[in-house]
A and B are shown apart, each in its own frame.
Chain A
Amino acid sequence: MGTESARPSVRCTHCELPVPADLVDRDGGPSFCCNGCRTVHATLNELGLDGYYGLRRTLGSGTDVKPPASGSNTYGVFDRESFVERHVQQREDGLCEVEFLLEGVHCAACVWLVERLPRAAKGVVEARLRLSDAVVRLVYDPGAASLSTIARALDGLGYPPHPVQGEERREIEHRADRRRLVRLGVAGACAGNAMLLAFALYAGEESGMDRAYEQFFRWSSLLVGAVALAWPGRTFLRGAWAAIRTRTGNLDLPIAIALVAGGIVGAIHVVRGSGEIYFDSLCVLVFLLLVGRHVQQRQQRWAADAVDLTRALTPLACRARRGDETEFSEVAVDELEVGDVVEVPSGGLVPADGVVLSGRARIDQALLTGESEPVSVDVGSSVHAGTRSDGAPLHVRVEALGANSRIGRLMEVVQRGLAAKPPIVRLTDRIAGWFVVVLSTIGIACTAYWWAVADLATAVERTVALLIVACPCALGLATPLTLAVAVGRAARRGLLVKDAGALERLSHASTIVLDKTGTLTGGRPEVVAWCGPSELRSIVVALEARSSHPVARALVRACAQGPVPEATDVVERHDGGISGVVDGRTVGVGSPRWARERGFEADADLAARALELESTGHTVVLVARDEKVRALAALLDAPRPGALAALDDLRAAGHRLEILSGDADGPVRRVADLLEVPLEHARGAVDPEGKLARVRELRTSGGQVVMVGDGVNDAAALAAADVGVAVHGGAEASLAAADVYVSRPGLEPLVDLVAIARRTMRTVRLNLGLSLAYNLCLGTLAVTGHVDALVAAIVMPISSATVLAVALLSLSRPLGSHRVGRTEPFDDAVPALPSATTRADRTKENGDESSRQDEVTTCR
């Protein structure tokens, strides 16, 4: 038979037996005598067990073994320096943070599972999974675990991790989608076939089928059922296994128990040749459950898009030109790449961070900087995503996109806030944990009862229905989802909420500490009284026309009427006044101190008026002609229109108001008076340290404190308060200390914020109630046998759809309109003498441009 010449000389890389010439690898790679050897070889290599070959060599059987190629599934890449540099963030406490995109995340149960990772993998300190985009944020100790071991642990739980990257991410989602659809298809085919076989069997029972046919159909059902359980049904089995390993209850566990129990009982009956086989129900169940999951996934992706903050604040499509193209064409912003040139039309949102190549415009970047005044941009200026352009169309070269853009990084902060669980979410988690325990107990009781009362088949059927219908998905989904939607809605209103827990706290009655400037008032003085001959008004305008001082702007606004004479020799020394020559006469406008220093005299009436006005918080400006004071203007940093109504709203919501301001006591008390805040709750001349002390004092006295202030100057007080709301200072800086950043001026956003918070918590409670009630009702029906497993599987996704719909709908209703119509009274001004006050040195000018012209009272 076998001749020496026919014997091949190549030996199997694994077992060292000769490889038939037919199977020798022609490219010189490793050759194997059989598929089994190839598999073992690859497995050993991938698991790093290839030391086996070296060992065998030293034992002396000796052929050369090629060094193994590194495996692809060991996540060895994750330990490379370049990878760590790119994806891992060092924390100050020596721990590291990393984010992975997980495959196979499908519902709230996965969140519980993944977050038990610290139990399953040594060195992992914390794991937080965002369900909306399946990204897990891990905190780990680099000394105790390498990234690859953590990645393998995640893989072992059934969630292969991937580094988070835009392109790759879409690819992975795509692949996971495809796999899900294939599973769905297989499950569908199995269900269809199993039903057909079941029909045949039922029909046969009626008409008396041949025994052989019946047996054939029963065995075929077994085959189809086995395929359905082993392939599409594996999703549940794997989930259950992971739950067992991490010793957590999850939804897959009861389903898997039901499937396995049904499968085993059915198989035994098939082999015995008699008794009920459950394969038709099992197949249909697997199919329906997968359909439910698919629907849920869709809903979740839809919800994720709805709350994707960066997307909400940047346009979805834009006109762009790529490479050496000359024409602009419409592209989705998702498809933009760094280096593309985008065209931003007048009034359009900038889609990405970049540099202006051509065009001039003014950019409103209030969202980022809090600066309501648009900034002029020219060729070479940087513009940021999410800001609004006004002017000529801009051509912008893209430099950073999506998550890498300034707004993207900002939203990252906000999203992290969502991942850090606010108390209400932790409460829901606890409820859900208990829910699983209670459910299992009821399940066991249900089985025992029906087995005793009826038979095993009834018991199994009802328990399975119960376990499926009582899916805690809605329960687990409701709260985080509602909060995410709320944060998204708030962002669209210019309210960036960093900590979702702030919404919960804001919904309770608390003491709201308000800063005066820029919040209660426009931060911009307005002329409220004029005493003196009105022909002097045109002189004031002539002098102040070119000054940029807030007081000068206010004077010009108030006095501009009729022809303006020419002013010459205008001198502005920034010492509290301005002087010049109009119509050949020397004139001057300035503070009382400025006037006194120059020796300008005023008559007694005017001086008394000035004193009185100053004592009531006005800023007084004197107008002199021919070195004598002839008129005075009184200015007020007046409360914003609607401020009183807004405060009334807050008071109606049960909040106590307090004003703390760095401004002088007089103006603060005046504003407090106008806004009906008790004077004992209004304090002026409080420095940032004083505000911090007051916040602490209020907190120790037991109440909850909401601090509204400047994101930079009042950072300490904002951080010390239960909820810090920053109204100035730029979003990035503010959110370091504050929980909420308000990018719109005025008090309405604050009222909106409180309204959103209250509505959010109402929705959370409603959703919790809904899902508990749903579970209670249908659970009861299932136990009593009024809902069978198949109906349960159909109803299950409806519950989470309801929760989702409630969250989205209730939060997208417009907020209630503010009460308007209350007028803000102003004191009549009386003439007074000049006294020693300078112009209030106000540099902040945060009022909205569309100012109203307050009626200026004039002296008789």
Chain B
Amino acid sequence: MSTLLLAVVGASLLGSLHCAGMCGAFAAIAMSSRRAGSCSDAGGCGPDLDGTSGRPARAAALQSAYHGGRLLGYVALGLAAGAAGALLDLGGVLAGLSSAAAVLAGATLVIFGGVELARQLGLRFGVWKRLPRPAFLNGLVRRATRTDRPVTRALAMGVCSGLLPCGWLYAFVVTAAGTGGPFTGALVMGAFWIGTVPILAAVGFSSDHLRRAFGSRVQLVASAAILLLGVATLVGRVELDATALARRVEDTAAAQGPSETSSLPDPAATPACCAPDGD
């Protein structure tokens, strides 16, 4: 389990430049200090996006609210995904398959990562029908940006981040599902969150430098990371399974142990009839 978590943190850290690009906007909104109701002549109404948050204490509060919100959203996703994975596992067991969730999740990740990687290398797959945009997201973000309290806004923007239909994010959600338990799922998403904090905290300082330094390799690295994560899920689960299997055998033995030992003759012992006299 800890191997998987470490792998997740690593992959998340590597690919988080993508997060900086995509969620940067949300982070900027979260960090803005102006009240929602105020309007400027040029920029219309709503939070301004200058990324400066006045006093450092305030900035820290906003940062923790935003990242806390993200953590909440991610953990909720992880719980749900893990529960779904658990259900899948149960179904798999009934159907005679072991660790169905892990296999399915791993395979999904490998295929997804592979396709992305191939795309980066110039292969064409054609665009599938575009996913419909979740309508409720708009409403949530709108409500969030209207709030008068910057901390609430930052928190809400963080929670909303978890709802973005981002392939990168959902790769980790699939990983969480692959663990086959709500709590392990939440752990995976927590690990993912840890990996994304540094780069997103840096948004508003100088993420552009980082981005220039990495250039297009960001996506290449990210795709490869997803692929590896898929492999790790498959392997990690198999490991986990082996220990679990062993434990189950032990449990069975423990449950049946005492009665069996008392009823069956000990082959090592000489039957009473044949025992030599105790002198």
Contact = CB atoms under 8 A, between A and B. Distances in A.
A216 B21 CA distance: 41
Contacts of A39: 133-134, 137, 164-166
A48 interface: yes
B28 interface: yes
Contact of A36 (B93, B142, B143, B165): B165
A432 B118 CA distance: 64
Interface in B103-149: 119-127, 130-131, 133-134, 137-139, 141-143, 145
A36 B168 contact: yes
B217 interface: yes
A20 B120 contact: yes
B166 A35 contact: yes
Contacts of A809: none
Contacts of B198: none
B138 A46 contact: yes
Interface stretch (B6-14, B41-49, B249-257): B41-49
A52 B119 CA distance: 29
A212 B94 contact: yes
A1 B221 CA distance: 11
B158 interface: no
Contact of B83 (A3, A35, A152, A219): A219
Interface in A5-27: 5-8, 12, 14-18, 20-23
A43 B94 contact: no
B179 interface: no
A499 to B, nearest CB: 39
Given A22-B125, A222-B83, A52 B49 contact: yes
A23 B94 contact: no
Interface string B164-189: 11111100000000000010000000
Interface string B11-55: 000000110111111101100000000000001111111110000
A40 B22 contact: yes
Interface string B196-211: 0000000000001001
Nearest to B29: A49
Interface stretch (A54-62, A636-644, A655-663): A54-62
Interface string A120-159: 0000000000000000000000000000000010011000
A42 interface: yes
Nearest to B25: A52
Contacts of A15: 18, 20-22, 24
A192 to B, nearest CB: 19
B260 to A, nearest CB: 22
B91 interface: yes
Nearest to A220: B87
A51 B44 contact: yes
A47 B124 CA distance: 34
A36 B50 CA distance: 23
Residue among A34, A38, A49, A155 having the largest count of chain B Cβ atoms under 10 Å: A49
Residue among A6, A15, A155, A212 having the largest count of chain B Cβ atoms under 10 Å: A15
Contact of B142 (A6, A20, A23, A152): A152
Contacts of A35: 130-131, 165-167
Given A60-B208, A219-B83, A14 B22 contact: yes
Interface string B35-78: 00000000111111111000000000000000000000000000
Contact of A6 (B87, B121, B126, B166): B121
B139 A219 contact: no
Interface string A395-406: 000000000000
A36 B167 contact: yes
B43 to A, nearest CB: 5
Interface string A185-218: 0000000000000000000000000001101100
Interface residues on B, range: 35 or more
B120 A2 contact: yes
Contacts of B28: 52, 55
B218 interface: yes
A274 to B, nearest CB: 15
Nearest to A7: B216
Contacts of B24: 15
Nearest to B139: A156
A271 B23 contact: no
A542 interface: no
A152 B141 CA distance: 13
B5 interface: no
Contacts of A1: 121, 220
B166 A34 contact: yes
B49 A51 contact: yes
A219 B21 contact: no
Given A22-B123, A61-B208, A219-B87, A17 B25 contact: no
Given A156-B143, A219-B90, A55 B18 contact: no
B87 A40 contact: no
B21 A37 contact: yes
Given A14-B21, A156-B143, A215-B90, A48 B216 contact: no
Contacts of A36: 22, 164-169
A222 B85 CA distance: 13
A223 B84 contact: yes
Contacts of A23: 119, 127
B233 interface: no
A441 interface: no
B219 interface: yes
Contacts of B49: 49, 51-52, 55
A33 interface: yes
Contact of B208 (A12, A55, A59): A59
Nearest to B220: A2
B218 A47 contact: no
Interface in B213-248: 215-220
Contacts of A212: 90, 93-94
B145 A47 contact: yes
Nearest to B134: A39
B118 to A, nearest CB: 9
A547 interface: no
B102 interface: no
B86 interface: yes
A674 interface: no
Nearest to A35: B165
A660 to B, nearest CB: 59
A264 B49 CA distance: 39
A216 B134 contact: no
B121 A219 contact: no
B133 A42 contact: yes
Residue among B47, B86, B138, B216 having the largest count of chain A Cβ atoms under 10 Å: B216
B86 to A, nearest CB: 6
4 cross-chain pairs, A with B, having the tightest CB-CB distances, nearest first: A15-B21, A36-B166, A6-B122, A20-B119
Interface of A: 1-3, 5-8, 12, 14-18, 20-23, 33-40, 42-44, 46-49, 51-52, 55, 59-61, 73, 152, 155-156, 212-213, 215-216, 219-220, 222-223, 271
12 contacts: A2-B216, A2-B217, A8-B122, A15-B18, A39-B164, A48-B46, A51-B49, A52-B29, A55-B49, A61-B211, A216-B90, A271-B83
Given A48-B44, A51-B49, A219-B87, 16 more contacts: A2-B220, A22-B126, A23-B127, A36-B22, A36-B169, A37-B166, A39-B137, A39-B165, A55-B50, A61-B208, A156-B143, A219-B90, A220-B87, A220-B91, A223-B84, A223-B87
